[in-house]
Structure 1
């Protein structure tokens, strides 16, 4: 039996207005004087513009009540977006000051540094604002909610986001094509990411009830397989990246910052282990969700 849905309070809240105001302020500060450049700056600007645009659409649809005409599960969509926006703002709030903020004044003057400090503060506050929305709308004991509001549903968004980070590191000269086992790891990342996105898409589209198989059982089986696949990748990738026989144990001294294959390999190894932990945690909660949904029959 698919998980039942219940509508949260769909009235436009002051929280949405606060996020819109903070997002608009952040973009205005960057465009006015703080500035951005290179890939990292473009990513940060994309995060702020994307989250602001989607939040504006959500707010508009809430005000006009037009979301009822859309062929999606609105509650699942809004909580999934809030989780995604939180993760995107976390990365932007870290990346921007790391690459653009220094203790000394830049060549453009101290005013630019002050604007960049303000951008960092606004971005960080907006991150907490989206995180608060996830905390408020998450599943609570005794309440029947949409799947994306459960811990398992929220973890699906985090897993997909971390997979995107892994893909970014793979594309950044990771030398994964040098060994067949590392290519196998890429297949693992791609397969798990694809199925996770399908699970989220089915849930947000509200199509889980029309499936020919129990959705909650499928989620448990897939998550179990994902744990096994990521466990193999968490062993294979470090061996063929850092073992003396296949790779380099330590970071080469002549490796430029931001364009070093060893750094990309390290990022992939760390986030592979992180996703392994997330999938294992997801498996535990998926079992709990399945038990509750069946016991309620």
Structure 2
């Protein structure tokens, strides 16, 4: 088409923007920061940053559990900051991962990380602190962690309730279960970070292998969807997802039997009662003794088995 001399041709690109969270799809403008989702993510950013700074500045952390909380707040802050930078700069099209899946995945992990920190930090650290400025900072950090958790929950819930909006795999029930499965496995790894908890029995080493193999398989599925690489799977994707879920159910079933059997049965080297574990009598207040770690891992193993069963039923 040829334009007449002296005329001006204008091209207008219209982007459908629905009310609510998706209004932030108006990218490349600072105004997007003051829309509903932008304000929500600012709250996430500020809350996680303050929680981390209050604990780090006052030195209000002790032991591996507090290190986990610091990592959680730092991880959530970094992911939210990355999402904000990409959206404000309009770089979604250049981002190598699926933008339908990446923000909801970050928010889902944010819920779990902040929720765990909001529970673990006061139980393992705050309650053992003497009254003073350090304890006040620790309590404030816990409050900000709870605020961040609520903000992430709001984003996830709001994403699921958008009518008529296209969503990726990670926003589905199966995708959310994958996030939960991988997160629970990460927490299990934190509690069995000491090799002495499992190296004395081959059955317990098998349990560790179960946690690691299932975690890797779950992360492969998540990364395949984030990277839009589902076409490299040689079989139909639903069959692949169902098969992985079924294999994970079988493996976790063995772990949910073997871990308690070898950790709490008097017929094995385990301790049936907490009082039988000497480490629980002489451990430092903020530390988690071996018997408590065994119990937490047993509970988390059961939780992940139920999650994989739900995933298998939904995938099938």
Q: TM bucket by the smaller chain? A: 0.7 to 0.9
* Counterpart among 108, 125, 130 of residue 83 in structure 1: 108
Q: Return 5+ residue gaps in structure 1 as ranges.
A: 1-6, 288-297
Runs of 4+ aligned structure 1 residues displaced above 6 Å come to 139-143
Alignment partner, residue 218 of structure 1: 240
* Counterpart among 273, 279, 287 of residue 250 in structure 1: 273
Q: Which moves more between the two structures, 253-262 or 122-131?
A: 253-262
Taking the aligned partners of 1:277 and 1:90, their CA distance within structure 2 comes to 20
Aligned-residue offset at 1:60 = 0.8
Higher relative contact order (CA 8 A, sep 6+): 1
Taking the aligned partners of 2:48 and 2:298, their CA distance within structure 1 comes to 33
1:99-119: CA deviation from partner (whole Å, max 9, x where unpaired):
33238x72xx52332222211
Correspondence 1:1-297 to 2 at 5 A: 9=22, 10-11=25-26, 12=32, 13-33=38-58, 35-102=60-127, 106=130, 110-138=132-160, 144-246=166-268, 247-251=270-274, 252=276, 254-256=278-280, 257=283, 258=287, 260-287=289-316
8 Å contact from structure 2 (residues 271, 277) kept in 1: no
TM-score normalised by length of structure 2: 0.80
8 Å contact from structure 1 (residues 139, 149) kept in 2: no
Alignment partner, residue 13 of structure 2: none
Q: Return 5+ residue gaps in structure 2 as ranges.
A: 1-17, 27-31, 33-37
Structural RMSD (CA): 2.4
Aligned-residue offset at 1:149 = 0.3
Taking the aligned partners of 2:209 and 2:90, their CA distance within structure 1 comes to 42
Q: Which moves more between the two structures, 29-38 or 71-80?
A: 29-38
Q: Which has the larger radius of gyration?
A: 2
8 Å contact from structure 1 (residues 227, 279) kept in 2: yes
Q: Which moves more between the two structures, 70-79 or 199-208?
A: 70-79
Alignment partner, residue 8 of structure 2: none
8 Å contact from structure 2 (residues 210, 255) kept in 1: yes
Aligned length: 278
Aligned-residue offset at 1:248 = 1.9
Alignment partner, residue 293 of structure 1: none
